[in-house]
Amino acid sequence: MNKKVLLINPRKGWRPALGLLYVASHICKAGYEVKIIEFIDEEFFPGRNRALWQELYDFDPDVIGLGVISWNRRVARKIIETIRAASRNKVIICGGKDPTFKPEIYFDYGADFVVMHEGEETIVELLNCLNEGRSVIAVNGIAFMKDQDLIVTDRRPPFDLDKLNFPALDLIDYDHYCNIRLGGIPGHFIKTGFLMANRGCPYRCRFCTDPVRNIYRERSIDNIIEEIKWQMENWKIEGMVLLDDLFYFTDNRVTLFCERVLKENIRLKFYAQTRVDRVGSSKTLALMKKAGFIQLALGVESGSQRMLDIMNKGTKLKQIRKAIQDIEDSGIFSYIFLIVGFPEETREDLELTARFLEVLKPSFIAVNYFMPMPGTQYYSKENEQNLTELSYSLTENQQEFRSQVPHDEIIQYRNRFLSLAQRSADLNLLRYPSFYAWVMGLFLLHPAVLLRGLFIQSRKKLYTNYYEAVRTAMINHRIYG
């Protein structure tokens, strides 16, 4: 009987792996014994994973599942190969966005099954089949190898979110994530929880991934409020990050949510995401402000209409201007995301973005480098080679991409765009006395961590200035320390 299930987060980040935690909750409810191990980045804390490996061997699971995304594929590969070197008897299952698009790679690493797309129902059905000795061919939403052939079963329909259990936060140190604070609401050093109120995005931006996300689904307001109160009671949070791609999708749903927050006297600071063409009435924004929303994040991406059209973003510059103005007028901070380094992007496009930002005047700006993600039109065999061989993140391997604008100029434009924000999320932290206490503790009690972080970042050449390297070292200490 395969009743002991170990779930692995290959590389711990600054926010909890909610997808893995939802899956864990459903496995637990099905009667299995579940343990979660979150491996850390050993570049910052060498040798710290030895104790975690010992936990794995002591638990002696029958089934091991890994939740993998592109940026931790390399780490996941090492974990799978290490497990396989120690035992051929463990059933290894991989799930997540990257295995969904490239299942054959994970079989080469040593995995037995890949769970495609959403895994809550699929993993339980697969485990039950394995336990009962039944054929897995009838399990929808999986891939496996049979006689050297790749078998992919029928696609499972999108999951009904009314049947979604609360995430198994008790299986991790959730209080640690709430207290990272630098990974919560940008610019606010408060104890923050994390929640998903819906899934999916019906839009088809060329740089985005996972077709299942095109099917937008919502949790009931009652269910969301119940989880918020559960997190408040058990973890004493002060803020909540709503991790949905599109929390603000319709005025009506946001209005219902805010009215319930006010009725239940829920006193939290909220952060959520939306699109510029979904920001509706000023009345809704005013209600959001009253209910505790302090930031709305939007994917602006570029100030060049030509680039927005190439991305298939489906938005116009005038919509962006109106949305940002309406948000700021309501007293909520706007937090915009930009992407630089697209293959089609020219200096003229970047200059248009700079001039647009001067007029736009958003409170906060984040700039990401373009990355050709698996499952998108931009992805190629060369990108696959880079992803397989190298560590992968939003900043690494940028030199490998074919932007028309030289890499050093892309960095200069990125810094220029960041300077056009009306506020600095980092400087805004200085409003919080607890931030000063934490920084002093880091410098006085853990100087070696900071120095090592600076050395690693300078060696990778990921950052363009000393300040950014210091900030990244601080974040990594907050995650792994």
Query: In terms of Cα–Cα distance, which of 361, 288, 272, 371 is closest to 320?
Result: 361
pLDDT mean across residues, the chain? 88
The contacts of residue 108 (CB under 8 Å, 6+ apart) are none
Phi-psi region of 361 (alpha: psi -120 to 50; beta: other; left: phi over 0): left
Q: What are the domain boundaries of the chain?
A: 4-152, 173-431
Give the pLDDT score at 479. Answer: 77
Residues 367-390 have pLDDT tens digits of: 988 887 777 777 765 556 555 544
Give the pLDDT score at 369. Answer: 86
- Measured at the CA of 220, the angle between CA 214 and CA 221, to 5 degrees, comes to 120
Give the pLDDT score at 206. Answer: 87
- What is the percent of the chain where pLDDT is above 90? 66
Contact predicate 244/213, CB 8 Å: no
In CATH terms, is domain 173-431 a member of 3.30.465.10?
A: no
CATH topology for 4-152 is Rossmann fold (3.40.50)
Query: In terms of Cα–Cα distance, which of 232, 228, 208, 209 is closest to 220?
Result: 228
Positive or negative, the Cα torsion across 353, 355, 357, 359?
A: negative
Residues 106-157 have pLDDT tens digits of: 999 999 999 999 999 999 999 999 999 999 999 999 999 999 999 999 999 9
Whether residue 399 has pLDDT greater than 50: no
Residues 454-473 have pLDDT tens digits of: 666 565 555 555 556 666 76
Give the pLDDT score at 169. Answer: 98
Residues 164-217 have pLDDT tens digits of: 999 999 999 999 999 989 889 999 999 999 999 999 888 888 888 654 467 889
pTM of the model: 0.91
